Amino acid sequence: MKHTPVISGVGMVPFAKPGASAPYYEMGAEAARQALADAGLDYGKVQQAYAGYVYGDSTCGQRALYPLGMTGIPVVNVNNNCATGSTALFLARQVVASGAADCVLALGFEQMQPGALGSYYHDRPTPFELFDHVCDELVGQPDVPLAIRYFGGAGMAHMDRYGTRAETFAKIRAKASRHAARNPVALFRKEVTVEDVMDSPVLIGPLTRLMACPPTCGAAAAIVCSEAFAKAHGLDHQVRIVAQSMTTDTPNTFEARNMMQLVGCDMTRAAADQVYEAAGIGPEDVDVVELHDCFATNELLTYEALGLAPEGGGEKMVEDGDNTYGGRVVTNPSGGLLSKGHPLGATGLAQCAELVQQLRGQAGNRQVESARLALQHNLGLGGACVVTMYQAT
């Protein structure tokens, strides 16, 4: 029997630059406390916990959660690169939907080091050998950090195929800054112009420094309950997870010899298609989206992979203003990874927190009017992609 999963509480600490944050275990504990307080729930009611982070020891989740109470529950530590937070959410949702547990905590945190952009994926698992071979063949420039080569190369591939302009990516970054200016917990709240973005140092191809997300420290959490449990305990149950999918790479990721495929467009498209089919809801019905804009290039690619724009139509979506307030679907009202920040293990749950607030009508001056359907996209190379559909009841 399938049980309807609901998000009864969310929490998030303000994101910070490396070296300026509390220790990971303090951030994680605080985000969990906020989620419990938001739900009006005692930690003793939580039956399982999934704790996500990329950099750390094997039981960092216990270190973060023990201050809340040593209740003896299962604590599962999760690492799935930049999709780690959503992977923790995926596991929590799955166990609740199956009926194996009624109330589960999903937690994500990251304490990153200065200069993390340059060392991104420095300890690469075996799959990255395949990524590197394709990237070396198509992009070259081996002295450039890997993440920049991957996502810069993907942007260049889109430009070559569809005639997309570098200024379009700059417009995405400027939009992110306008959204973040409304978000009190975003790392960078200063608005930047297209000219500012284009004039910042070039990293590779169309990518400039301001088109890359900053290394960030932070934590976020969500309480996932069955609808029946939430009702029985007087918890908020107005935001449901109506569909969710996780996908990984297929041979085409490498065999296509296409940088857009290499950075996860196929994974994203497959996960989104599965979610739309399961929910009986299409991309045209979505009101608000939080997607994985680790680089401005990837936001545009993701518009198309999620079906928010037709293939090759991402630039038109930007030019028409259909990715922001007053347009067809507001993307990354939080400011996204580009402005809000990207603490790897926390990102997916920070996206969840933003969308839950949007669907509850609690997003303040960044509120998307009449938001009822929300879509979340969280991507990790190596690879994993989680797409989640939320609905306000």
β-partners of residue 244 are 388
Other CB atoms closer than 10 Å to residue 29's CB: what's the count? 23
Among the listed residues 375, 280, 278, the one whose alpha carbon sits nearest the alpha carbon of residue 331: 375
Q: Which two tokens stand for residue 73?
A: 């529950």
Alpha helices in the chain (DSSP H): 24-39, 60-65, 84-98, 127-138, 146-162, 166-180, 194-199, 227-232, 252-255, 259-262, 265-279, 296-305, 314-319, 336-340, 347-360
C-alpha span between 227 and 208 (Å, rounded):
45
Catalytic entry in 60, 82, 135, 213: 82
Catalytic annotation on 82? Answer: yes
Instruction: Tell me the residue type at 226.
Output: S
C-alpha span between 54 and 45 (Å, rounded):
27
Report the b/e string of 309-325 with b at 16+ CB within 10 A: beeebbbebbeeebbbe
**Residues annotated as catalytic (active site), given as ranges:** 82
